[in-house]
Amino acid sequence: MSLTKDAILRATDNGYQVFRHFLGGLFVKEDKAFRNPFYDDKKAACYVYRDKKTNIYKFKDFGDNRYQGDCFYLVGLIYRLNCTDKHDFYKILSIIDTQLFLNLEDREQKAARVIADNQGSVQRASEMPSAFDNMETADLKAPIQIRPFSPKELLYWARYGITESVLERFQVVSIERFSGISKEGKEYELRNTEAEPMFGYRGRKHTKIYRPFSRLRFLYAGEKAENYVFGFDQLPLRGDIVFIPGGEKDVLSLVSHGFHAICLNSETATIPKNLLRGLSFRFRHITLLYDVDETGLASMDKIVKEYKEFSIKSLRLPISGEKGNKDISDFFRDNHTADDLMMLFREMLDHLYEDTITLMRTCEIDFMRPPETPEPLLSINEVTIGTAGNLVCVAGSEGSGKTNFLGGVISGAIKPGEIDIDTLGTTVRDNILDRAVLLYDTEQSEYQLYKNMTYIVKRASLEKPPAWFRSFCLVGVSRAERMKIILESMDRYYYEFGGIHLVVIDGIADLIAGVNEEEPSVMLVEELFRIAAIYKTVIVCVLHLAPSGMKLRGHLGSEVQRKASGIILIEKEENSNSSVIKALKVRDGSPLDVPMMQFGWSKSEGMHVYIGEMSREASKTRKINELRDAAKDIFRGKTWVSTKDLKLALMDVFEVQDRTARSYIITMKEAEIIEKSSQFPGEFRLVHKETG
């Protein structure tokens, strides 16, 4: 085998594994957008995809056409190497081979590369002193003579469950005779006898000789391998567990019982980091299975501690550790099965994952005891926006009417159950158990919040707020203290009033230092989601839109957009004093199919009132305009976009499922926002046409 472009592609699923390795956590899966790591990319527009013509995986940044190519181009970018330069391209091949531990480069290629890189000032391996731990080395006087396995030899291997087909697959041979020259220059000859059989583990240019019943059990003949790893060539591309036992016989025994395994030259040999990195990429669990003696156990402990980054596990077999009863081969020889080993492996995982499993039990769904069906707490036009245990987001620009809309929602939550009031187009479940309704405001002054409360109370047909409705002005409290106040007060009122009906946080961006700080944003949204579930309530969060008008602001907005069950947008209607209510996200269905509604100020009522649904024509115009705005963003810097990429982009922008995104594409074609190519099947381009 040699190191070539085609060999790399064959060994890495046409480059797919190279992208997975070098892009790491950025590249989650095929056709999933991620940010370009080669510049300060603000929006995920990079994709890894399979080229239909060549069947090779490639990547492309639809936000910057300069970044597109195959896996070799990617590695060249990372290491600043030029794919068109022959010397640089071979370096790229070598980097991939080393990083993914493909072991494709043959000895002559490697020697030529090292000599070229070092201008000839290198020492060949054959000229360097080398010794394998606890092993004699020998110069061959004559070629090793091999013979077919005898029935007795096959019986020896069969004791450990090792079959003849496995011996053949791993190039294990029976050696008839071996002539060599010792370090002292003396000639000697070893023969295979019934009392002292002799086997060979054959490599590319070496043979490791194994004499199980002799005083000198191991010899090493031929050109020494720089990093001896037995069984590596027989590993699958991917798997769940790879065991690393103490020796070759253990590898053969494990493989014969259906497992994947490799070994080094001895249990005290240093495991190369490149090997572990490659294995961790290909296997879920790297598990040491050394001998159960002092040396083996100490070596496992050392490796686990030294290579924490690879989460290496160690499995101790329940055997005595005495000679003849200390390794996995002995375990299988004593009539233990593959199921027995898997049981031990599961027990090891149970111990390692004890805390996780305890937590999992609290999250497990009991089919015989189904959870309560969540009753809609907040809905619009019979479309559910929020149920207990969820977040709802109300978004809009300053002065759009968000606070007035929230006042309508809160009024519906505190009103006496026997009367109907104007809740500005929303339906709020009656609070018949008088549970807590809590309002936290981080933006408005104390006086302004008081004024808002008077409108809320008036709308609810009350003279004063009920005892279980509490509002808090947090403007004068530091950001670090605000979340603590919210959490502890919610807990207090939950027990005082027997539950929480509704929570409104007007300005969640003021609970963290900045909306673009990823970790605090994730932690905040996860905490809000957690307490909403604990208290079985709906938490309504208020957040501003990004300048584009299509997304919520910053990392915080992205997290809210993912986790919220519903997102409502409040916009100021042009040339009027009314506000428009739009659905940006609903848990089921398409937000663009939810009708728009209006509310505005009434002098006679002395408060904002519900005006009604906007016309179907207006709703259709809104849908067309928002699809047109989305298309302009998706096609920015591009002439053509494939059907698949367009569908994925629409799913991302509008938070909808595959089927809905496909219907949007049909609507965009009918509205002449996009048009299909007659030359490139499955490609669309933007129609540059102003809104009518």
Give backbone dihedrals phi and psi of 376, rounded to 5 degrees, phi first: -55, 125
Domain positions in the chain are: 5-121, 132-222, 232-358, 376-614, 622-686
Place of tokens 């049981």: 343
Q: What's the pLDDT at 152?
A: 93
CATH number for the region 622-686 comes to 1.10.10
Place of tokens 């300069």: 66
Q: What's the pLDDT at 549?
A: 57
Q: For residue 210, how many other CB atoms are within 10 A of its CB?
A: 19
Place of tokens 């986790």: 563
| Cβ proximity of 647 and 72 under 8 Å | no
Q: What's the pLDDT at 691?
A: 43
Q: Which of 379, 493, 394 has its CA nearest to residue 426?
A: 379
| Cβ proximity of 200 and 217 under 8 Å | no
Q: What is the pLDDT of residues 320-357, one digit of tens each?
A: 888 888 999 999 999 999 999 999 999 998 888 887 77
Burial (0-12, 13-18, 19+ Cβ within 10 Å), 672: exposed
Strand partners, 540: 392, 504
Burial (0-12, 13-18, 19+ Cβ within 10 Å), 9: buried
Q: What's the pLDDT at 490?
A: 93
Q: What's the pLDDT at 472?
A: 94
Strand partners, 179: 189
389: Cα within 13 Å, side-chain hemisphere: 7
**Cα 319–chain centre separation:** 38
CATH number for the region 232-358 comes to 3.40.1360.10
CA-CA distance, 213 to 208, in Å (whole number)? Answer: 16
pTM of the full predicted structure?
0.51
Q: For residue 486, how many other CB atoms are within 10 A of its CB?
A: 23
Secondary structure (3-state) at 339: helix
CATH 3.40.30.10, domain 376-614, yes or no? no
CA-CA distance, 671 to 685, in Å (whole number)? Answer: 13
Q: Which of 33, 90, 110, 93 has its CA nearest to residue 649?
A: 33
Query: What is the phi-psi region of residue 335: left when phi exceeds 0, alpha when psi lies from -120 to 50, beta otherwise?
Result: left
Q: What's the pLDDT at 492?
A: 92
Q: Where are the alpha helices (DSSP H) in 264-393?
A: 273-282, 294-306, 328-333, 338-352, 354-363
Residue ranges in the chain whose pLDDT is less than 50: 120-136, 691-692
Residues with Cβ within 8 Å of residue 360, at least 6 apart in sequence: none
Class of domain 5-121: alpha beta
What would the DSSP string read from start to end of 173-233?
Answer: EEEEEEEEE-TTS-EEEEE--SSS--EEEE-SSEEEEE-TTSSS-EEEEESPPSS--BTGG
> Which tokens sit at 142?
């004559």
Q: What's the pLDDT at 662?
A: 86
CA-CA distance, 630 to 671, in Å (whole number)? Answer: 14
Residue type (1 letter), 75: V
Q: What's the pLDDT at 134?
A: 37
Residue type (1 letter), 692: G
Q: Where are the alpha helices (DSSP H) in 423-500?
A: 446-459, 479-496
Q: For residue 375, how many other CB atoms are within 10 A of its CB?
A: 9
Containing 407, the helix (H) or strand (E) segment is helix 402-414
